[in-house]
Amino acid sequence: MCQGINPSDSPNAAQSAPRGMRYHIALVGRRNAGKSSLLNMLANQSISIVSDIKGTTTDAVAKAYELQPLGPVTFYDTAGIDDEGELGALRINATRKVLCRADMALLITDEQGLGHADMALLDDMLAMAIPILVVFNKADICSPKAEDIAFCQAKQLPFIAVSATTGLAANALKQLLVELAPAEYKQEPLLAGDLYQAGDIILCVVPIDTAAPKGRLILPQVQILREALDNHAMAMVVKETELATALDAFAMPPKLIISDAQVIKQVAAITPESIPLTTFSTIFARFKGDLSVLVQGAEQLDHLQDGDHILISEACSHNVQEEDIGRVKLPQWIQTYSGKRLSFSVTSGHDFPDNLEQFALVLHCGACMFNRTEMLRRIRECQRRQVPITNYGVAISKLQGVLPRILAPFHPKNE
């Protein structure tokens, strides 16, 4: 057994890790190449249906798994990229959507070796800059072809020969997955931990309105609080209506105040200039994406014209409330700020338009339910199409006239 690899599934860690914090690994390839069998081998469980009938896997099958020392990952078993017919085209499109959020792809082939469909998919994945591991399955009945090995070597593609049927090289495959993971996934993720030190007071301002979830905080707030505890800081939470009272009660001022963007103007007015102030969404703009690009995109709010079309892009689906930030408040604030006649469209989850050029601006949520790879791909695609993109928190701070202040903690004066 390879050192450091725990082949057993660890449900507590794997299932409880936030979806957006997991490393996403897509299993792709032709029908009957053994993708489902390979997933079952990796997870040591019967997750996907295995059959000799082509096209058994239709929708992507997700499996959370604890792959030590990498941590929580999600494997995606996908439909064959050589599927046929109108329904097959839809399945292939679903596979490509999975690739848009994949941190790594396992291209699985069988005794036939790398065929035309495999080569076409490889070209697409290389263009998307997805790390690829070529897996030659069914090594118990056939060794990889010499020309396929030469191809992988020429393209500098890592490869391995395995057998999902016998379990041949199962541990070596897991070890290779860990070795090929980007360095950032082998380190503890950093949200705001570089903005304070152990012993500091961190104050989070969380408004409670009709759109707030009942009986709990939202994921970004929970993650900020947990990080503060892990870093031995003192984390506290107040509503904006109690902020002034809380500040008066402190013998030592907070090292950092992190506010919900919706109340940032009110919070900024109460908070002394000497106390660093930012928002949850700004922290996530840096954590999940590219803060500098999103700040630049917010400048488009000053250049909107009558008839411009704006895309509101949400990472998760939810029941729309009367105080919904993306669908109600932001459009109202932008209309008031710009004084222009604008139209808005909304997408949710993993849907993202192909015709981005129709939009004057893309407004994205904080992406707490996405992994960083998917958010960065969206940012890069907008850049490629020359469409400005920003996120809720950065845009709101711009609209409220406090953007320089909420960015200040990320650019200390002594830098």
Instruction: Give residue-wise pLDDT tens across range 107-121.
Output: 999 999 999 999 999
Q: Residue 173 and residue 160: Cα distance in Å, rounded?
A: 7
Structural domains in the chain, CATH included, are: 11-186 (3.40.50.300), 193-283 (3.40.50.11420), 290-399 (3.40.50.11410)
Whole-angstrom distance, CA of residue 272 vs CA of residue 398: 19
Q: How far is CA 83 from the centre of its chain?
A: 28
pLDDT at 128: 86
Residue type, 224: I
SS (H, E, C) the chain: CCCCCCCCCCHHHHHHCCHHHCEEEEEEECCCCCHHHHHHHHHCCCCCCCCCCCCCCCCCEEEEEEECCCEEEEEEECCCCCCCHHHHHHHHHHHHHHHCCCCEEEEEECCCCCCHHHHHHHHHHHHCCCCEEEEECCCCCCCCCHHHHHHHHHCCCCEEECECCCCECHHHHHHHHHHHCCHHHHCCCCCCHHHCCCCCEEEEECCCCCCCCCCCCCHHHHHHHHHHHHCCCEEEEECHHHHHHHHHHCCCCCCEEEECHHHHHHHHHHCCCCCCEEEHHHHHHHHHCCHHHHHHHHHHHHCCCCCCEEEEECCCCCCCCCCCHHHHHHHHHHHHHHCCCCEEEEECCCCCCCCHHHCCEEEECCCCCCCHHHHHHHHHHHHHCCCCEEEHHHHHHHHCCCHHHHHHHHCCCCC
Picking from 53-62, 146-155, 160-169, which range would have the lowest pLDDT averaged per residue? 53-62
Please say if the pLDDT value at position 53 is more than 90. Answer: no
Give residue-wise pLDDT tens across range 377-397: 899 889 988 999 999 999 999
Cα distance between residue 406 and residue 176, in whole Å: 41
Q: Give the tokens for residue 323.
A: 């105080």
pLDDT digits (tens, 9 = 90+) for 319-355: 556 678 888 999 999 999 999 999 999 998 888 888 8
Backbone angles phi, psi at 278, to 5 degrees: -150, -170
359 closest CA partner among 314, 406, 405, 300: 300
Predicted local confidence at residue 11, as pLDDT: 42
Summarised one tens digit per residue, pLDDT across range 70-117 is: 888 999 999 999 988 888 888 898 898 899 888 899 999 999 999 999
The whole-number pLDDT of residue 44 equals: 84
pLDDT of 61 reads: 87
* Overall average pLDDT of the 199-224 stretch: 88
Task: Band the pLDDT of 59: cuts 50, 70, 90.
Answer: low
